[in-house]
A and B are shown apart, each in its own frame.
Chain A
């Protein structure tokens, strides 16, 4: 069973991987409040896509079933799952608990 801590670890891993690819001036703090999307976001759009792909793949592997973070449902949430780490975590846990 994938726990909330386990999902948070997956999200942090994806963000840290991205940080590893960044130049010294572009590195960002990885915390539960790191902004992912929006005007004051830490990531540009292509970086966000990379994080989504990594998280989607790792969560699907851990669950042994495919989940989608980019389908119509994700895109039509009142609060965007990609607002920050916390909203992404909450949305993934919603999917995890639907097994």
Chain B
């Protein structure tokens, strides 16, 4: 077993499935203690995994989640803001409630989680905040107005927080992933996704290791001067 993350406490949002689960399992395999925030019950078990039923789109739920976290640990070193929801629809017929839900979960959620985690990171003067963004922020696909805006906002959120938290040795970065086989992607027309992917410099779907590679880079001790950066996969820029 790798010991790369031995002694680290990592919070992953949206840890029940897809990218979030892969990230949580990666940190667990590296020896970390992982705290998972998700709306539903835990979807897997591990001796070092602690699951918290938190809706990151509801600020009060996030604050309560952190109160529960503090009962088992007083420190968090790494946060991965992964939880997201997607409704793809033309803006003129997008239900306002669906747009609001994306804003709440995809942007307000990372704000609240980063805010509360930073208060804990301040105590130990070390932290890594990693936001999971999307190629949508750069490619701005039709039908994804609110989703793309939230993901673009996520980079800005990280960049401003990078300035505010720099004196605490906390870095804030964004990983803009492209298409990966997931429940979220299954909601979109496959031909639309295939056409977008075909136009990328690296015309293939992302694999979990593509994502974990950049996560490791951002989370590394050696990346203390890497902050306020957005890295896209697949050649998106």
Which of A's residues lie within 8 Å of B, judged by CB?
21, 46, 49-50, 53-54, 57, 66
Report the minimal beta-carbon distance from B99 to chain A, rounded to whole angstroms. Answer: 27
Of A21, A46, A53, A66, which contacts B67 at CB under 8 A?
A66
Report the minimal beta-carbon distance from A17 to chain B, rounded to whole angstroms. Answer: 9
In angstroms, Cα B170 to Cα A50, docked, is: 14
Report chain B residues within 8 Å CB of A49: 164
CB pair B164 A46 closer than 8 Å: yes
Going nearest first, the 5 A-B pairs with the smallest beta carbon separation are A53-B119, A57-B119, A53-B122, A46-B164, A50-B122
In angstroms, Cα B167 to Cα A49, docked, is: 12
CB pair A21 B167 closer than 8 Å: yes
Report the minimal beta-carbon distance from B134 to chain A, rounded to whole angstroms. Answer: 30
Residues 60-79 of chain B, each 1 if its beta carbon lies under 8 Å from chain A, else 0: 00010001000000000000
In angstroms, Cα B160 to Cα A46, docked, is: 13
In angstroms, Cα B122 to Cα A54, docked, is: 8
Report chain A residues within 8 Å CB of B167: 21, 46, 50
Within 8 A of A (CB), among B113-160: 119, 122
Q: Closest residue to A57 on the B side, CB-wise? A: B119
Residues 173-202 of chain B, each 1 if its beta carbon lies under 8 Å from chain A, else 0: 000000000000000000000000000000
Report chain A residues within 8 Å CB of B168: 50
Report chain A residues within 8 Å CB of B63: 66
Report chain A residues within 8 Å CB of B122: 50, 53-54
13 interchain pairs, CB-CB under 8 A? A21-B167, A46-B164, A46-B167, A49-B164, A50-B122, A50-B167, A50-B168, A53-B119, A53-B122, A54-B122, A57-B119, A66-B63, A66-B67
In angstroms, Cα B167 to Cα A57, docked, is: 19
Report the minimal beta-carbon distance from A94 to chain B, rounded to whole angstroms. Answer: 22
Q: Closest residue to B63 on the A side, CB-wise? A: A66
Q: Closest residue to A46 on the B side, CB-wise? A: B164
Report chain B residues within 8 Å CB of A50: 122, 167-168
